[in-house]
Amino acid sequence: MSSSTGLTPGHIRALPATSGSQPASQARSTIMSHIAILGLGAMGRRMAANLLKAGHQVTVWNRTARAAEPLLALGATQAATPREAAAGVDFVLAMVRDDAASAGVWLDPETGAFAGMRPGAIAMDSSTLSVDWIKKLGAEAANRGVTLLETPVSGSLPQADAAQLIFLVGGNADACKQAEAVLLAMGSAVNHTGEIGTGALTKLATNALLGVQVTAIAELIGMLRRNGADAQKIMGIIAGTAVWSPYAQRAIGALLSGEAPVMFPVELVEKDFGYALEAAGSPDAAPTIAAARSVFRRGMDEGLGDANLTSVVALFRK
């Protein structure tokens, strides 16, 4: 993200002007809302914590109830089902693994969140989903009189911790404005991408570009080492050229060492590549994405599914 104060089309200013020593959380959100968070994985629990720190009232649900305990200590309320969590709140936000999990939390006839939402509440799904599914979910929401925004994010655990996520919002522009204060309690920017489905397309394109970079750099490190070159020195030289990216700069240490904390596991990158190929129409329509996906599939076959995405560098050591 640029530090410029200029705004591109569809971009909402992240931090309104403030005076004195007003905390950033207060600057981002002056209207307190009641929000339900569905899914307390690594991202969801950090997002919920930032909403609580910003002063919002938060109800949480997770398939494994004990995951909520740290948030209860911060003032959250726990619900037994997504439907119960959604009852009476202003916003319901899901952050779950995939299309199937999203369908479960929203549409289950007994426990789904749509069944519990009040008129005028806004549903938001920050999961990385397929384009076809989020469009179907949007239609299901409309049939129930519910407004749905897709709100996937760019950023990983450090950005989630620091409330610096970038939201990629598809759906009604007015609803996006209504949700802005809530989203900015968890992030640094809100980008309205267009109608439902465009947020997923933006997120999948972002993750595909990320994964392609990782596979390319991993292959280059392998090529350099097999030829007896000093991979660290040469990659450092490449880093001074125009082809280098900010992400490559952050990831190169992990790619060279083969060690990194788990920020984005191999199995989830592979899942996102699959969704991207579905959106592309076929592997022939996106051969580079298809080739990169095969690297992550191989990584899963070799036991790297739970490891950070940069761990695929190990595939090119031979």
Q: Which residue has the tokens 């009232």?
A: 57
Which residue(s) pair with 124 in the sheet? 93, 149
Residues contacting 227, CB < 8 A, separation 6+:
none
In this structure, how many other beta carbons lie within 10 angstroms of the beta carbon of residue 127? 27
In this structure, how many other beta carbons lie within 10 angstroms of the beta carbon of residue 136? 16
Q: What is the pLDDT of residues 106-131, one digit of tens each?
A: 999 999 999 999 999 999 999 999 99
Whether 309 and 211 have beta carbons less than 8 Å apart is answered as yes
Distance between CA atoms of residues 147 and 167, nearest Å? 17
Distances (CA, A) of 89 to 83, 84, 112: 11, 10, 14
Distance between CA atoms of residues 134 and 147, nearest Å? 13
Tell me the two tokens of residue 284.
């022939």
Residue 4 has pLDDT above 50, yes or no: no
**Average confidence (pLDDT) over 31-44:** 96
Distance between CA atoms of residues 233 and 33, nearest Å? 52
**Stated pTM of the model:** 0.89
**Average confidence (pLDDT) over 39-65:** 98
Residue 271 has pLDDT above 70, yes or no: yes
Q: What is the pLDDT of residues 206-244, one digit of tens each?
A: 999 999 999 999 999 999 999 999 999 999 999 999 999
Q: For position 31, what pLDDT does the model report?
A: 78
DSSP 92-144: EEE--SSHHHHHHHHH-TTT-GGGGPPTT-EEEE-S---HHHHHHHHHHHHHT
Average confidence score pLDDT of the chain:
91
Tell me the two tokens of residue 258.
């083969």
